[in-house]
Every structure is written in C-alpha cells, then in structure tokens.
Structure 1
Amino acid sequence: MDRDGPDQPRVDVWWVDLGGDALTPAVLARLTPAERQRVDAYESPEAALRFAAARIVARAVDKGGTDGTACSLSFAHSGYGLAVAVATGVEVGVDVEAVGPGVRTGDIPVEFCTGEVRRRLAGLADDDARWTAFLRHWVRKEAAAKSAGLGLLLDMASVPMTGSGPGEYRARLPDGRRLRIVDLAVPDGYAAALATAGPAVVTLRRYPWPDGPSSTVP
C-alpha cells in the first residue's frame, strides 16, 4: 500500500454483491434509453442485471476529478459479483472471476501462462485447485491488460509477473511499460485484482445494491 498524500493518485474500488436480484422497474428506470435497449437484447437475465448494475454504479461513483484531474474507469463482473474502479491521476484496470469447487471444469487454457506458471499449476493436487490458482493468476493479467488499454490484444504468456509483497506484483509489458498489480480482498468465492500504471492509494469499499453510496461502508 502506498503512503497517502495530497498529490498521490487514488483508486476507489467499489464491490457490489448483486445477490441474485432481478431487474426491477426501479432499476430499469435508472438506465438511459440506449442502455435499456442493450438490456432487452440480453438472453440471460443474469447478464442483463450485471450490465445494468455496472452502468448504474459507475455513474453513481464516477464524479470526475473535482480539481480537473482526469479519471480512469474500469469495471468487471462474474457471477453476482461486480467491481467498479474509479481512479484519479493514473490509468486503472480491474478484473473479477468466480472461483471455488466446481466453478470451472475441463482443460485450463495454459497457453495464456508463462512456463513458470504452467509448472506451478501442474504441481497442484486436483482440478479445483488448479482452476482456482489459474483464475487468480488470470485476473491479475487481465487487470494489467485493461490498465494498459490492450484488453485481449495483449499476449498474456509474454507478460511475466514478479511478487513485490503479500498480494502485490509487478509486470512489464512487451513495449516496456511497467504496471503494479494488487489482489483485492473481495468476498470468498471470488478472485479480483487491480492494476495501475504507477503508484496509487487504493481503497476498497462496499456498494450496497441497489441503494447507492450514501449508505456505503468502507
């Protein structure tokens, strides 16, 4: 964690537990006409809810820099978990995946991993342990790709990460840019990570869905 200071870049990460809620008329009323059209196009009610919640929460917490400082916004969701990151003074990326027994099955896409990570995964006891370890690694890489503005264009296997402290990592992109990555202390059943293009003070908060930040508990 970086020491706080008046000029230090800041990142607020808002964690939302959608809790299996449905899309109510009150929620739909908070969407723009274009967003409601997007919601209507989803075949999955869960996917529609995640989309709607991401837009509503992002609007509620992204107030823009009061001193004119540019803001960077990133969000990710998996299952009924949603993370929205709002940063001032630094580019940011966040990613989330549901983890746990039976959440994922089948072959792990190890082509996205470095040789070191492949060997570490191969040494784990069972498929559930391997999938959980892979997804924790994946959210760090995906957060880094989002922070760099590359998304899935980034060759994940070409980006090694080194630990720099408990839950903290450094990554160097093929173009030479360096990123900082931290694991986020989200609820059990999820893995989440945040990446920034430089030092930043990171605060994780809960956003009580659907009430809003007026009742948020840090």
Structure 2
Amino acid sequence: MGSLGIVTNDPSPYSVHFHLTGFGRFHRVSQNPTEFLVKQFVSFCEERRGLHEAARVVTTTVATTSVKGAQQALDEVYGKLHRDKSVRNVIIHCGVDASANCFRLEERAYNEASFSCPDESGWQPKVVPIDDTKPVDSFLVTSINIRQAVEELEKKGFHVKSSEDAGRFLCNWIYYQSLTRAQCEFSVKVVFVHFPPIQDSQEIQSYCEFLLQLLNVITTHELSSIDE
C-alpha cells in the first residue's frame, strides 16, 4: 500500500492503524453499501490524499452476513493487529441500517442476539445471549469519545448522530464480540458505524469521504491522548 498520509511539519513518532470491516448482502438488502465502501476505501484515500499522515489503513475485510462470517472477519482482523507501543489499533466495523437517514456512531453493543431475519446461514436466534456468562441485557461501551467525534464531524458538514442502540442483528453481534476481544488487547479501540442505504452508486464516494474524516478525527484524538 502506498502512502495515504497528508504532509505535516511535525510528524508523530506514533501511528494509528485502522482495520475496517463491512458486510455483504443479506435478507432485506441486496446491495450492502458497506461492502463497496470497504472495498473502495483504500483507492479512494490514495486518490483523495486527505488521510492524516499518522494514519494507516491496514486491513479491509468484508464479512458474509452470518455469525460464522462475522467470526471469521474478527479472527482475520485480530490476527493482523500490530502489537507495538508506538501503534494504536482502531477497528471500525461498518454496517447498513435500512431505515437510517444519516450516519450513526454506535456507543454500545448489547449482549443479545435477536435477529429480525435469518442470517445468511439460516440462523435466527431470539433473545439469546452472545456471551452466556453474562446477563442478556448487559452491554459494552466503546472507549472512543463518540459525542466529541460527532460534534467534530457535524462541523465538517456531515449529517451524523450518536446512538446507544445498534439493534440486535449481526451489526450488534460483531460489535459486542469485538469489544469483548479488545478488552484483552493492548491499545485496541473499537467503534461501529451505521450507514444509510444507498440510492445510487455515486453515494459511495460521499460515504468514503465521511469515513476518511472519521479516521482523521480519531487519529487526532489518539495522538492527543498520547501526548497528555
């Protein structure tokens, strides 16, 4: 991968490694925008050349919309983390919400799988704990400052909101599992982003721009926290 950074006068000795996941099609969505988003994002950054100098997009993974597919995606991402004190790893899971009309940054993931439709392997759990050692109504919270990120992205002109409910389908499932795994890692943060459905293929470019600016916001925050 070529350099995706912007030039600064004071390059940081630290870097932020981003790992992106999206989902493929599923029951109600024949074209999942996060599949195209994740596949096109690196080339978009290379053309746009707007990514922070300290940021690197290390992995881009599209998961089959099933528990098995999500688990495989997590295994791939966590297997490629760069475990070094000079690196901060940030995992961004992307999914589509067919009813959404804006970008949503999810603050929480709940320990409940209640699928409104079967996943691509045919499984459709109802009120099943993701982690059976914890109550089904328990939840995990991202360590990323979602409210601050939303505020900064709004200033950049994006229609974006924070959310405390990622649903109970695969989006929530992968988020809960990822937050659980991140607790056992050094300096790994996780966030889930819900995207609206696309009306035409041109919208993917605007989704890429939003994701790029989200990465820049997170990178700036991460570098600032190191300096404190």
Same fold by TM-score, threshold 0.5 exceeded?
A: no
The structure in which a higher percent of residues are strand is 1
Instruction: From the CA coordinates, give the structure whose radius of gyration is larger.
Output: 1
TM range, normalised to the smaller chain?
A: 0.3 to 0.5
